[in-house]
Amino acid sequence: MTVLQSSSSTTNKVLGHPLNAWYVAAWDHEVTRKPMARKIADRPLALYRTEDGKAVALADACWHRLAPLSMGKTVGKDGIQCPYHGIVYNSAGRCASMPAQESINPSATVPSFPVVERHRFVWVWLGDPTQADPGLVPDMHQMDSQDWAGDGETIFAPCNYQLVLDNLMDLTHEEFVHASSIGQEELSESEFVVTHDDRTVTVSRWMLNIDAPPFWLKNMRDKFPGFEGKVDRWQIIRFEAPSTIRIDVGVAKAGTGAPDGDRSQGVNGYVMNTISPETAKSCHYFWAFMRNYCLDSQLITTQLRNGVHGVFGEDEAMLKAQQEAIDANPDYEFYSLNIDAGGMWVRRLIERMLQAEGRLAAAL
């Protein structure tokens, strides 16, 4: 286990990942009876479903000679068979059969990780299993609520997961990275408010009486055909440790009371983001866009998914370039700006989790 050197939040360009946490391993539809391989938090996993449909996460290395179990096949009610010498493990990771002998070696086990299926995702806990409380799965209830419709995708981002969190906690970058869709100059000009507690950080920004950028104008016209005029726009970014960010976004006809809670004259979406570290320099970035209007329109679901896909493609290019620049300039530090307040609180909460796990030396 690596203990990082103590340093302040400003100089940790990238962060290690807590292990005592739920991370999304896969979308629910990705995990089937056919085993699949995925690395989460530096741990190669074999994911599959039992005959009863229960998702299973085992270490992707047979006890015997470490052949990847994900290359094997599911057998029986809940077992998986190593593709190399046929050793079978059950969903708890216990050897159930050794083809070449009449007995089973009692030591033959592979690690089995706690799994919870919730909000259309398969979540896995890679730390101390005695702390794996399902109540700690981040709230992403819009993913499977009848009041919300939408869909998403996975980005394989070639950067440390912390860079994605930084990206989502400060949306002033939209003005520059996403100029043709959701960016506008009011993003950088308007005030924002940051609050936090032990597990969450919230950044709120309201932009009143502005022109809707192209993405939001299209959405308004889906709900209010022929809409013209100014809007009140909001972005309420909520981080939940260690790496889930839901962004309550929308616009409403200007002056109709959205800042006071009446969003009936507007369109509201949730950008759901949950990021699972893969290695120190790569992550699986699971996102979805959920909306609370025109719920039965698959056309709009598809259009929004494709639209956000395009927007996030712009982030992906920037994040990749940023990681490459970090790697290419190891002696350069990060400096921070006021706009980083949300992201800096995220770093602070993650550093505290790492300290609690003994994986980051306490700040001096």
For other proteins, the binding residues (CB under 8 A) are 59, 63, 90, 92-96, 101-112, 114, 129-130, 132, 358
Closest to other proteins by CB, 102 vs 260, is: 102
Nearer to other proteins (CB atom), residue 107 or residue 298: 107
The residue (of 77 and 199) whose beta carbon lies closer to other proteins is: 77
Q: Is 249 exposed, middle or buried (0-12, 13-18, 19+ CB in 10 A)?
A: buried
Of the pair 193, 356, the CB lying nearest other proteins is at 356
Minimum CB distance to other proteins, residue 92 (Å): 5
**CB-wise, 97 or 181, nearer to other proteins?**
97
Considering the complex, what minimum distance in angstroms separates the CB of residue 86 from other proteins?
A: 16
Least Cβ distance, residue 351 to other proteins (angstroms)? 19
d(CA 341, CA 204): 12
Q: Which of 89, 99, 20, 86 is nearest to 48 (CA)?
A: 89
Alpha-carbon torsion, ordered 8, 10, 11, 17, to 10 deg: 80
The three-class DSSP label of residue 256 is: coil
Name the minimum Å distance from CB 76 to other proteins. Answer: 10
Nearer to other proteins, 14 or 108 (CB): 108
Between the CA of residue 76 and those of 52, 98, 232, what are the distances in Å?
A: 11, 14, 57
C-beta of 90 vs 202, nearer to other proteins: 90
Q: Which two tokens stand for residue 197?
A: 């507690």
Assigned token pair, 48: 């599959």
For residue 99, the minimal CB distance to other proteins (Å) is: 14
Measure Cα distances from 341 to 44, 166, 243 in Å. Answer: 34, 10, 16
Q: Scanning the structure block, which residue is given the tokens 């109540």?
A: 135
**Angle, CA 182 vertex, CA 177 and CA 187 arms, to 5°:** 80
| CB 280 to other proteins: min, Å | 22
Could you give the residue ranges of the DSSP H alpha helices within 38-95? none
Residue number with CB closer to other proteins (92 or 317): 92
Q: Which residues pair with 207 in a beta bridge?
A: 233
Cis peptide before 158 (omega within 30 of 0): no
Task: Give the nearest distance from C-beta 109 to other proteins in angstroms.
Answer: 6
> Nearest approach, Cβ of 126 to other proteins (angstroms)?
12
Amino acid code (one letter) for 199: R
